[in-house]
C-alpha cells in the first residue's frame, strides 16, 4: 500500500492544478446541489420491531386521515394572580386565541379547553391542544408565526401563555463556541508547525471536506429524510478527523524535508507512510459509524452513514489535496524543527540549532523505566472516572430537558403544576379487536384493567374508529415521563394485555412518545453488546493486518474500553448528577440520552484508533528497521507524540465547541466525545500504550507463523519505499538512529 500511496502523493504534487480543480469543482457541485435542493421535509423517527412502532403503524391503517404524525402544540394559559381562568374576561381571551389558531391553513383542529375538560382543578390553568395536518419539520414559518402571535395576543390580555409541543421545533443552534473550537485548533496548529502557512493547510482542507460532506447531506436531505442533527454530527466528526489526518501528513512531510529529501519526494513519502496510517485510521472510523446500522434504527443508521461519508472525503482530501497544496506552498513550508521568521525562526537559527530530547522522548523514556507504576496509575484513574457509569439511567429528551428560558420548558412546568407530572407523557393504548367476537366488551375490559394498575392518574374512555374494530385509550400516569414508575406502568399494561388477548382475542399495544422512548432505550441496550462485538471484532482484524501482531490490537481494544467507560462516567456525573452542570450550561439534569452509549462506542472507537495507528505504526516502523523494543517505543514518541498531542487537543477543541448547542442531544454528544478523546489520547495512548509495550518487549510483535503467511502485507511502515529507492539509501540509513534516543536508552 505504501508504494501506491507514494506514487499518488507524488502525482498529486506534480499535477496540483488538476487536483485542486477537481476538489473545487466537487465543492461547487455540492454547494449548488444544496442550494437548489428542496427543503428537508418530514424527518420521521421509526423504530422497526418495537411494540410502540407497531401500534403507530396500526393507527395509520385503522384511523386514516387522523394525521397521526402531524405536529402538535399545547398552548397553556394561566390566569393572573387571584383570578380564575374561567372568569369571563380570561375566558373570552382564551376563546379568542383558540379561534385564531383554528383558522390556520395547516391546522387540523384546535381544542376548546372549556369543552374538552382541559382546565385544572383549581381553575387557574388551562390548555388548548392544536393539531396540524403536517409534521413539525414540514410546518411553514407562517404557521409558527401565527402560533406565536396568538400566544402574544393572549399575553397582552393579562394571561401567562406558554407553548409546548413539536410545532415550535427548530434547527439547533451551536453558538459562538463552535467558532472558538476552530480558533483553538488554528492556534494549536501554528504552535505545532511554527508556520502560519503550514498551520493553515489542515484547516483549509478540513473546511473543504466538511463543506462537501454537509452540502451533499443538505442536497439529499429531502430525498433521504435526513434531519438537522445529521449535518451537525457530520460537521463535528468531519472537522475533527479532517484536521487530524491533514496534520499527520503535513507533519511527516516536514520530517522528510528535515532528512534532506526533495519536496516532491518528501510529499510522496509522507503520503506513503503517514497516508497509510490515515487510510487505516479512517477505515476504523468508517467501520464504527456504518456499524451503527446493526441497531436497526433508521435515523441512527442515516446519521452514521452520512458521517462516515464525510470521513471518507476527509481521507481522500488528505491523500490528494494536501500534497497538491504542499506543491503550491513550496519552500514556505519549513522542515521539521524550523520555524518561520515571523514566529521566531531567525532566533532559533542564531542559537546554532542546538537540539535536546523533545518532550515525547523524555516522557517515553520515563514510562519505559517505570512501566508498572504508570500502568497502575492510569488504570486506577480511569476506573475511578468510570464509577458513575454504574448509575447510568437512559431516556430520550423531551420538553422537560429544555432550558428554563424556553417557552416549551415553561409550558411543560405549567402542565405539570396544573394537571400532574404524568400529564406531559400520556400513554396511548391501542386495542386491536378485529379478531374479537365482542369488540366493545374488549374495549371496556381494557379500560377497567388499566384503572386497577398502580401509578395511573386518569384513563379516558375508549375511542373506537369508524369500523368499530380498533379503539384508543389515553392513560395519564401519576409520575413524570422519564421516571422508573412510568416505565413500570408501560410494562404492567403490556403484561395485562397478554391476559386480555387470551380471553377476548383483542391485542393491546402501548405507544405514544413516552412508550416509544422506553422501547428505543431497550432496543439500544439490547444492541450495545452485539454492536460492540461487531465493531471491535472487525477493527481488531484490521489492526492485526496493520501491525502484524495479536497483542497490540488486543491492547488497543482493551484501552478503548477503559476510556469509553471513563467517558460515560463523566457524562453521568455532569448530565445526570449535575456536577459542573453550570459550567457546561446544563440547566436540567436527567437521564442520559438513550443512544449516547452506543453512539459513543462507535464514534470514540474509530477516533481512538486514529491515535493508536499513527503512534504505534511509528514504533512498528522503528522495530521493523532493527531497533530494540524499548528504543522503538522512544523513537515512536520522539516522532509522533507531538503530533498526536496536537491532534487530540484539536479534536477536543472541535468537539467542545458543540457543548454550546441549544439542543441537549448535541450538547451531550459534544461533551462526551471531547472527554473521551481526552481520556483516550492522554491516558491510554500516551501512558498505558508505552507502558504495556515496554512490559511486553518483543512479545508485543508476536504473530503466529501461519497467520503471518496468510495475512496480506500492506506495508504501513513503508519498508518498500526504502528498498525501492536506492538513491535515498544514504539518507535512509540516518533515520534509524538518533543520538538523543540512544542516550536516553542507555539510562533505560
Q: State how far the Cα of 288 lies from the Cα of 534, in Å rounded to an integer.
A: 9
* Cα 281 → chain centroid: 18
Q: Is the separation of the CB atoms in 409 and 402 below 8 Å?
A: yes
pLDDT at residue 65, rounded to an integer: 62
**Nearest to 71, CA basis, from 151, 172, 173, 164:** 164
Residue with the three cell numbers 458521517 = 307
Over the chain, what is the mean pLDDT? Answer: 81
pLDDT band at 316 (very low <50, low <70, confident <90, very high): very high
pLDDT at residue 716, rounded to an integer: 63
Give pLDDT tens digits for 116-168: 778 898 899 999 888 887 766 667 778 888 888 888 888 888 899 998 877 77
Per-residue DSSP letter, 684: I
Q: State how far the Cα of 339 lies from the Cα of 334, in Å rounded to an integer.
A: 7
Q: State how far the Cα of 306 lies from the Cα of 234, in Å rounded to an integer.
A: 7
CB environment 326-363: b (16+ within 10 A), e (fewer): bbebeeebbbbebbbeebeeeebeeeeeeeebbebbbb
Residue 427, pLDDT > 50, answer: yes
Q: Three cell numbers at 702? A: 508476536
* Greater pLDDT, 7 or 641: 7
- Residue 571, CA distances (Å) to 159, 358, 389, 567 in order: 39, 35, 8, 6
Residue 705, pLDDT > 80, answer: yes
pLDDT band at 372 (very low <50, low <70, confident <90, very high): very high
Residue 489, pLDDT > 90, answer: yes
Residue 560's contacts (CB-CB under 8 Å, 6 or more residues apart) are 536, 604, 605, 608, 609, 680, 684
Residue 384, pLDDT > 90, answer: yes
Contacts 24+ apart (CB under 8 A), 732-740: 734/259, 735/259, 735/625, 736/622, 736/625, 736/626, 736/627, 738/635, 738/638, 740/355, 740/356, 740/357, 740/361, 740/638
Beta bridge partners of 592: 394
Mean pLDDT over 220-239 rounds to: 76
**Minimum mean pLDDT range among 384-393, 543-552, 719-728:** 719-728
- Residue 729, CA distances (Å) to 6, 58, 624 in order: 17, 73, 16
Q: State how far the Cα of 542 lies from the Cα of 283, in Å rounded to an integer.
A: 9
* Greater pLDDT, 372 or 745: 372
- Residue 387, CA distances (Å) to 162, 381, 383 in order: 40, 10, 7
pLDDT at residue 67, rounded to an integer: 55
Mean pLDDT over 105-125 rounds to: 85
Residue 729, pLDDT > 70, answer: no
Q: State how far the Cα of 318 lies from the Cα of 187, in Å rounded to an integer.
A: 20
pLDDT at residue 578, rounded to an integer: 83
pLDDT at residue 17, rounded to an integer: 93
Mean pLDDT over 45-57 rounds to: 82
pLDDT at residue 235, rounded to an integer: 82
Q: State how far the Cα of 391 lies from the Cα of 66, in Å rounded to an integer.
A: 41
Residue 211, pLDDT > 60, answer: yes
* Greater pLDDT, 703 or 105: 703
pLDDT band at 176 (very low <50, low <70, confident <90, very high): low
Mean pLDDT over 46-68 rounds to: 79
pLDDT at residue 348, rounded to an integer: 44
**Nearest to 154, CA basis, from 102, 84, 76:** 76
- Residue 43, CA distances (Å) to 68, 87, 134, 227 in order: 14, 42, 11, 6
Cβ count near 117 (within 10 Å) = 10
pLDDT at residue 138, rounded to an integer: 66
Mean pLDDT over 199-203 rounds to: 83
Mean pLDDT over 224-229 rounds to: 69
Q: State how far the Cα of 121 lies from the Cα of 555, in Å rounded to an integer.
A: 62
Residue 90, pLDDT > 60, answer: yes
Residue 533, pLDDT > 80, answer: yes
**Minimum mean pLDDT range among 465-474, 685-694, 736-745:** 736-745
**Pairing assessment for the beta strands 125-132 and 72-78 based on DSSP bridges:** antiparallel
pLDDT at residue 373, rounded to an integer: 93
pLDDT band at 272 (very low <50, low <70, confident <90, very high): confident
pLDDT at residue 170, rounded to an integer: 55
pLDDT band at 743 (very low <50, low <70, confident <90, very high): very low
Q: State how far the Cα of 407 lies from the Cα of 89, in Å rounded to an integer.
A: 24
Three-state SS string over 585-648 comes to CCCCCCCEECCHHHHHHHHHHHHHHHHHHHHHHHHHHHHHCCCCHHHHHHHHHHHHHHHHHHHH
Mean pLDDT over 172-186 rounds to: 65
Q: Is the separation of the CB atoms in 33 and 216 below 8 Å?
A: yes
Mean pLDDT over 689-706 rounds to: 88
Mean pLDDT over 506-523 rounds to: 87
User: In degrees rounded to 5, what are phi and psi of residue 60?
Assistant: -60, -35
Give pLDDT tens digits for 402-423: 777 788 888 888 989 988 888 8
For residue 125, give the H/E element and its range. strand 125-132
> Is the overall model pTM greater than 0.95, yes or no?
no
**Nearest to 277, CA basis, from 236, 239, 234, 247:** 247
Task: Note the maximum CA span of the chain.
Answer: 98
Q: Please tell me which of 64-78, 209-223, 310-324, 457-471 the model is most confident about, judged by mean pLDDT.
A: 310-324
pLDDT at residue 738, rounded to an integer: 42
Residue 540's contacts (CB-CB under 8 Å, 6 or more residues apart) are 553, 554, 557
Percent of the chain with pLDDT over 70: 87
pLDDT at residue 347, rounded to an integer: 45
Beta bridge partners of 461: none
* Greater pLDDT, 700 or 313: 313
First to last CA, the chain: 35
**Nearest to 97, CA basis, from 72, 125, 128, 119:** 128
Q: State how far the Cα of 252 lies from the Cα of 267, in Å rounded to an integer.
A: 9
Amino acid at each position: 500500500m505504501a508504494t501506491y500511496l507514494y506514487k499518488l502523493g507524488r502525482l498529486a504534487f506534480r499535477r496540483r492544478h488538476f487536483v485542486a480543480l477537481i476538489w473545487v469543482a466537487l465543492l461547487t457541485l455540492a454547494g449548488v446541489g444544496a442550494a437548489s435542493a428542496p427543503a428537508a421535509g418530514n424527518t420521521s423517527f421509526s423504530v422497526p420491531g418495537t411494540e410502540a412502532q407497531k401500534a403507530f403503524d396500526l393507527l395509520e391503517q385503522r384511523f386514516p386521515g387522523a394525521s397521526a404524525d402531524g405536529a402538535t402544540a399545547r398552548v397553556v394559559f394561566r390566569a393572573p394572580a387571584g383570578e380564575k381562568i374561567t372568569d369571563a374576561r380570561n375566558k373570552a381571551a382564551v376563546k379568542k386565541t383558540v379561534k385564531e389558531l383554528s383558522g390556520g391553513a395547516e391546522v387540523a383542529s384546535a381544542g376548546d379547553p372549556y369543552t374538552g375538560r382541559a382546565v385544572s382543578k383549581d381553575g387557574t390553568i388551562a390548555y388548548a391542544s392544536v393539531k396540524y395536518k403536517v409534521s413539525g419539520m414540514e410546518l411553514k414559518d407562517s404557521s409558527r408565526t401565527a402560533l406565536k402571535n396568538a400566544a402574544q395576543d393572549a399575553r397582552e390580555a393579562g394571561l401567562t401563555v406558554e407553548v409546548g409541543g413539536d410545532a415550535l421545533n427548530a434547527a439547533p443552534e451551536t453558538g459562538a463556541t463552535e467558532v472558538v473550537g476552530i480558533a483553538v485548533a488554528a492556534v494549536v496548529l501554528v504552535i505545532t508547525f511554527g508556520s502560519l502557512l503550514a498551520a493553515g493547510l489542515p484547516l483549509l482542507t478540513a473546511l473543504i471536506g466538511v463543506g462537501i460532506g454537509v452540502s451533499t447531506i443538505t442536497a439529499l436531505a429531502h430525498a433521504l429524510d435526513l434531519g438537522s442533527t445529521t449535518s451537525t454530527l457530520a460537521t463535528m466528526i468531519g472537522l475533527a478527523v479532517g484536521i487530524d489526518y491533514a496534520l499527520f501528513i503535513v507533519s511527516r512531510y516536514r520530517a522528510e524535508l528535515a532528512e534532506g529529501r526533495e519536496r516532491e519526494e518528501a510529499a510522496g513519502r509522507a503520503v506513503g507512510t503517514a497516508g497509510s496510517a490515515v487510510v487505516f485510521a479512517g477505515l476504523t472510523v468508517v467501520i464504527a459509524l456504518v456499524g451503527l446500522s446493526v441497531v436497526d434504527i433508521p435515523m441512527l443508521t442515516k446519521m452514521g452513514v452520512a458521517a462516515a461519508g464525510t470521513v471518507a472525503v476527509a481521507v481522500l482530501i488528505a491523500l490528494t489535496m494536501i500534497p497538491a497544496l504542499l506543491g503550491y506552498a513550496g519552500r514556505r513550508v519549513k522542515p521539521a524543527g524550523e520555524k518561520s521568521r515571523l514566529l521566531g525562526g531567525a532566533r532559533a537559527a542564531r542559537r546554532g540549532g542546538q537540539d535536546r530530547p523533545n518532550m515525547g522522548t523524555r516522557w517515553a523514556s520515563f514510562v519505559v523505566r517505570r512501566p508498572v507504576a504508570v500502568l497502575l496509575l492510569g488504570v486506577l484513574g480511569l476506573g475511578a472516572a468510570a464509577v458513575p457509569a454504574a448509575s447510568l439511567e437512559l431516556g430520550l429528551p423531551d420538553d422537560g430537558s429544555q432550558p428554563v428560558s424556553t417557552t416549551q420548558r415553561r409550558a411543560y412546568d405549567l402542565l405539570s403544576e396544573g394537571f400532574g407530572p404524568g400529564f406531559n407523557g400520556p400513554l396511548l393504548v391501542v386495542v386491536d379487536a378485529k379478531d374479537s367476537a365482542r369488540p366493545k366488551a374488549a374495549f371496556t375490559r381494557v379500560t377497567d384493567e388499566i384503572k386497577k394498575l398502580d401509578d395511573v392518574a386518569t384513563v379516558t374512555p375508549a375511542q373506537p374508529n369508524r369500523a368499530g374494530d380498533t379503539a384508543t385509550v389515553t392513560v395519564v400516569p401519576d409520575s413524570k415521563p422519564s421516571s422508573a414508575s412510568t416505565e413500570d406502568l408501560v410494562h404492567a399494561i403490556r403484561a395485562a394485555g397478554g391476559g386480555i388477548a387470551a380471553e377476548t382475542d383483542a391485542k393491546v399495544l402501548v405507544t405514544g412518545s413516552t412508550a416509544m422512548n422506553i422501547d428505543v432505550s431497550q432496543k439500544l441496550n439490547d444492541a450495545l453488546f452485539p454492536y460492540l462485538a461487531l465493531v471491535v471484532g472487525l477493527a481488531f482484524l484490521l489492526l492485526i493486518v496493520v501491525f502484524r501482531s495479536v497483542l497490540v490490537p488486543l491492547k488497543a481494544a482493551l484501552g478503548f474500553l477503559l476510556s469509553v467507560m471513563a467517558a460515560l462516567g463523566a457524562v453521568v456525573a455532569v448530565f445526570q448528577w449535575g456536577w459542573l452542570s453550570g459550567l457546561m450550561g446544563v440547566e436540567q439534569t436527567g437521564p442520559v440520552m438513550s443512544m449516547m452509549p452506543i453512539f459513543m462506542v462507535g464514534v470514540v472507537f474509530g477516533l481512538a484508533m486514529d491515535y493508536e495507528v499513527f503512534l504505534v505504526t511509528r514504533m512498528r516502523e522503528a522495530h521493523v528497521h532493527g531497533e530494540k523494543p524499548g528504543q522503538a517505543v522512544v523513537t515512536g514518541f520522539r516522532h509522533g507524540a507531538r503530533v498526536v498531542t496536537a491532534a487530540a487537543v484539536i479534536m477536543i477543541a472541535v468537539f467542545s465547541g458543540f457543548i454550546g448547542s441549544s439542543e441537549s442531544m448535541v450538547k451531550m454528544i459534544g461533551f462526551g466525545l471531547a472527554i473521551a478523546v481526552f481520556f483516550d489520547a492522554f491516558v491510554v495512548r500516551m501512558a498505558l500504550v508505552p507502558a504495556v509495550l515496554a512490559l511486553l518487549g518483543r512479545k508485543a510483535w508476536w504473530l503466529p507463523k501461519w497467520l503471518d503467511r496468510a495475512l496480506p502485507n500492506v506495508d504501513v511502515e513503508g519498508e518498500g519505499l526504502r528498498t525501492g529507492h536506492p538513491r535515498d539509501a544514504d539518507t535512509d540509513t540516518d533515520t534509524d538512529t538518533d543520538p538523543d534516543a540512544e542516550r536516553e536508552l542507555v539510562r533505560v
